Amino acid sequence: MDKITKTAALPESAREFGFYVDGAWRGGRPLFERLSPGHGVPVTLIPKCTVEDLNEAVAAARRAFEDRSWAGLSGADRAGVLLRAAAILRERRDEIAYWEVLENGKPIAQARGEIEHCIACFEMAAGVARTLHGDSYNSLGDNLFGLVLREPVGVVGLITPWNFPFLLLCERVPFILASGCTIVAKPSEVTSATTLILAEVLEQAGLPAGVYNVVTGSGRVIGQAMAEHPDIDMLSFTGSTAVGRSCVHAAADSNFKKLGLELGGKNPFIVFADANIDDAVDAVAFGISFNTGQCCVSSSRLIVERSIAAEFEQKLAEKMTRIRIGDPLDEETQVGAITTDAQNDTILGFIAKGREEGATLVTGGTTLEIGGGRYIAPTLFSGVGRDMEIAREEIFGPVLSSFHFDTIEEAIEIANDTIYGLAASVWSQNIETALTVSRRVRAGRFWVNTIMAGGPEMPLGGFKQSGWGREAGVYGVEEYTQIKSVHIEFGNRAHWIK
Ligand code: NAD
């Protein structure tokens, strides 16, 4: 773990970025210096924009929406831009992965894989741009014909978190663009680089000026102003449930903007005794450690049948100690650094709390000294009580709590015992068990004998306090449209006043 083989060098100095409004780069704002989570050295300098900058970006997005330079194109022309963007992303994959790693701390090989998924999102959205359609009714009588149109919502504000800065962006941007909307994006203040690089890609792909704008800065200032903005028609917010709630209040107190919310999760991973145990062990080790557990769909609650629980936990602990944790720029690394100091403290605080509350620490629970970064060993707690904080709160780190059950009813009840409903997974070779659990557990994404599988065809989103609406797939384009009913009368009118 202490032997670090870098395959890419750190930048010699921090790269300075501008922000992007109406097809032009701007600067001259105070800069936020971002240190690489894996190395502790400065990597980027990001503008702290003002609310006036945001207002100008919203005005540019409004003009670009109203002038029909994007919404007025055919689906085929919009698809052309999205496909060109996909091709450019393919060429620039390694460069984008590099900046993602430097700001986020995730392993380089993982980052490249994520960008492949981003490319697929652009290609998928291009297909939907061409096939998006409404409906018609010829059942309204001989003189009346009904059309149901899907129109773009308008100017979309897009607020994203730091855990998957580029992936989450690309699970939204191409689908929003496919609908004909225009965008003002605000990335997390600590991971803004790749959201800005996407502006270069889209410009190169031929996106008209003003359709995609990026304003950087803090959530408290810029994010809050977006949520309150009277000229943003829809806000797509991905982040914590607490901030999601504040966006609901801000929308209600401003212009009732439409909201898409993708929030937290405390996701159950349910294993029955008849499962392929070795596969399930591997999948849960991956599910809790991937992206250092800073993953909204991470498998953070293991719910395992009591008859196999001891064997399962022992095999799992053994696997968790073999995960290759290290320098995110090392090609061999599977798990990188914790993204922020604050998140590091939060995770360590939950580990301490788990011990205090009497859960049994099976493995992990410690920090690791690697380079100048922040690293935490994948951690397993057994004997976790359902009321303990580590059982109920989203930790957003590599900390797994294990619960035991005797019956399928009990497994479902434990799985649903949370305010969240983002994702869930069931492991069983019995089709009845798998189907019963997948229908009864309340979650927006469900995996049977697999974890985190998918593609841009599949919609993403949560039940309960995990959010509103869906992103990606056909659903992810429809989400950014609103329905208009057009009634067309023909023939002579039956007069009201005879
Ligand atoms: P966060 O809520 O603190 O921040 C998310 C974004 O909101 C950032 O861009 C931030 O600057 C901005 N923000 C902060 N305060 C704001 C305010 N008052 N008004 C408007 N915007 C504001 O979340 P985070 O710490 O960046 O990310 C972690 C959380 O995100 C976790 O809870 C995780 O589950 C959730 N998440 C959910 C999904 C999903 O798809 N459901 C995906 C990734 C992360």
CATH classification at residue 314: 3.40.309.10
Question: Does a structural domain hold residue 235?
Answer: yes
Segment 35-56 mean pLDDT:
97
Report the pLDDT value the prediction gives residue 4, as an integer from 0 to 100: 46
Question: Does a structural domain hold residue 3?
Answer: no
The strand pair at 301-305 and 212-214 is best described as: unpaired
Q: What is the 3-state secondary structure (H, E, C) of 260-309?
A: EEECCCCCEEEECCCCCHHHHHHHHHHHHHHHHHCCCCCCCEEEEEHHHH
Which atom of ligand 1 approaches the CA of 160 most closely?
9
Instruction: Judge if 296 and 210 occupy the same domain.
Output: no
Instruction: Judge if 274 and 219 occupy the same domain.
Output: no
CATH classification at residue 87: 3.40.605.10
Question: Does a structural domain hold residue 454?
Answer: no
Q: CA 2 to CA 197: how far, in whole Å? A: 33
Whole-Å CA distances, 362 to 266, 268, 303, 354: 20, 19, 16, 12
Question: Does a structural domain hold residue 1?
Answer: no
What domain range is 168 assigned to?
15-263+466-484
Question: Does a structural domain hold residue 66?
Answer: yes
In 3D space, the residue among 246, 196, 194 whose CA is nearest the CA of residue 225 turns out to be 246
Which atom of ligand 1 approaches the CA of 343 most closely?
25
Question: Cβ distance 431 to 457 under 8 Å?
Answer: no
The strand pair at 420-421 and 360-363 is best described as: unpaired
Segment 320-347 mean pLDDT:
96
Instruction: Judge if 378 and 471 occupy the same domain.
Output: no
Instruction: Judge if 93 and 218 occupy the same domain.
Output: yes
Instruction: Judge if 136 and 229 occupy the same domain.
Output: yes
Whole-Å CA distances, 195 to 7, 145, 157, 185, 475: 24, 44, 13, 8, 23
Q: Total structural domains in the chain?
A: 2
Contacts of 82 (CB under 8 A, 6+ apart): 122, 123, 125, 126, 129, 174, 177, 178, 205
Instruction: Judge if 205 and 278 occupy the same domain.
Output: no
Å from CA of 252 to ligand 1 middle: 19
Instruction: Using the predicted structure, report yes or no on whether residue 6 has a pLDDT greater than 60.
Output: no
In 3D space, the residue among 390, 296, 297 whose CA is nearest the CA of residue 351 turns out to be 390
Instruction: Judge if 142 and 213 occupy the same domain.
Output: yes
* Residue 262 annotated as catalytic: yes
What is the tens place of the pLDDT at every residue in 12-30? 999 999 999 999 999 999 9
Which of 51, 296, 338, 470 should be mutated for ligand 1, with most atoms under 8 A from CB?
296
Instruction: Judge if 275 and 178 occupy the same domain.
Output: no
Segment 166-178 mean pLDDT:
98
Q: CA 29 to CA 225: how far, in whole Å? A: 18
What is the tens place of the pLDDT at every residue in 116-138? 999 999 999 999 999 999 999 99
Which atom of ligand 1 approaches the CA of 467 most closely?
41
Å from CA of 339 to ligand 1 middle: 13
Question: Does a structural domain hold residue 490?
Answer: no
**Which of these is catalytic: 262, 305, 394, 478?**
262
Instruction: Judge if 370 and 337 occupy the same domain.
Output: yes
Instruction: Judge if 43 and 170 occupy the same domain.
Output: yes
Instruction: Judge if 153 and 294 occupy the same domain.
Output: no
List ligand 1's pocket residues with C-beta within 6 A.
Answer: 159-163, 168, 186, 188-189, 218-220, 223-224, 227, 238-240, 243, 246-247, 262-265, 296, 394, 396, 422, 462, 467
Partnered with residue 402 across adjacent β-strands are 302
Q: Which two tokens stand for residue 385?
A: 């009580």
